[in-house]
Amino acid sequence: MADMFVKQAKQYAEARPNYPEELFKFIASKTPKHELAWDVGTGSGQAAASLAPIYKNVIATDTSPKQLEFAIKLPNIRYQLTPPTMSITELEQNVATQSSVDLVTIATALHWFDLPQFYKQVKWVLKKPNGVIAAWTYYWPEINESVDAVFKSFHFVDYEPFREPQPKLVENKYMSIDFPFEPVDGVDNTGPFDQFVLEKLMDLDDYLTFIRSSSGYQTAKNRGVELLTDNMMEKFKVAWNSDGQSKKVARFPLYLRIGKVEN
């Protein structure tokens, strides 16, 4: 995963939307204490920066040094480069000691992980009982009928051959992803919950930058294929300008899985 996002790390940091404050308030309301959070696959630190005002300390890890270069710097966030797999000793050295973490978050990255190995680590670091894990994702931006129609054709014809299998878990809204945890207080299952929506004001360049920041686009680029051809760019331009508004609010429905560990 780290290699896939190296080349577009700057684009990723600039193009991705910020997560809504209500998401973090909801998640934080499920952790009895707010001392230490671990944000895994932090990328450019968007989730870590939102956790920082709520939790005393945040450890934010990623396997990509290039992504961490663009991470948001705050006094109580410690960014840590980690290997793709860690032993318990490495986990203790790089992240935290056993049963010391209140919350583990994974923002738009869980589908890339070796889940059985990762969940062992989560259960080792989380406080018991009631340490919380929250993982969420979002899909492509929804703009309007005209733009979305062009994108649908682009996605299922041009983009499809270069998609990795993991993002298909995102397309399925994390409904089928393995998530072996107990429901948090106040809900009767672990989700996915869909009451949160991301919004970002975009112009056409922002929208195209978002597409270029995706894993499928990068895979195609690495194989010498330019998905955003002149013809495709013109189709997006015509659709984008059809309502006379250069900037539009892009909506990203968000899907949350949240659970806790027992004793």
Q: How confident is the model over 215-258, as pLDDT tens digits?
A: 889 899 999 999 999 999 999 999 999 999 999 999 998 999 99
In the block, which residue shows the tokens 């195209």? Answer: 208
Residue 195 has pLDDT above 50, yes or no: yes
Give the DSSP letter of residue 154: I
Phi (first) and psi of residue 85, to 5 degrees: -125, 140
- Cα–Cα dist 24/21, whole Å: 5
- Cα–Cα dist 14/75, whole Å: 22
Count how many domains the chain has.
1
The model carries a pTM of 0.84
Q: What are the pLDDT digits (tens) for 45-97?
A: 999 999 999 999 999 999 989 889 889 999 999 999 999 889 999 999 999 99
Residue 205 pLDDT = 94
Nearest to 15 by CA among 70, 57, 53: 70
Kindly tell me the burial class for residue 234, based on how many C-beta atoms sit within 10 Å of its own C-beta (0-12, 13-18, 19 or more). Answer: exposed
- Cα–Cα dist 175/9, whole Å: 28
Task: Provide Rg for the chain, Cα atoms.
Answer: 19
CATH of the domain at 26: 3.40.50.150
For residue 65, the enclosing domain spans 1-261
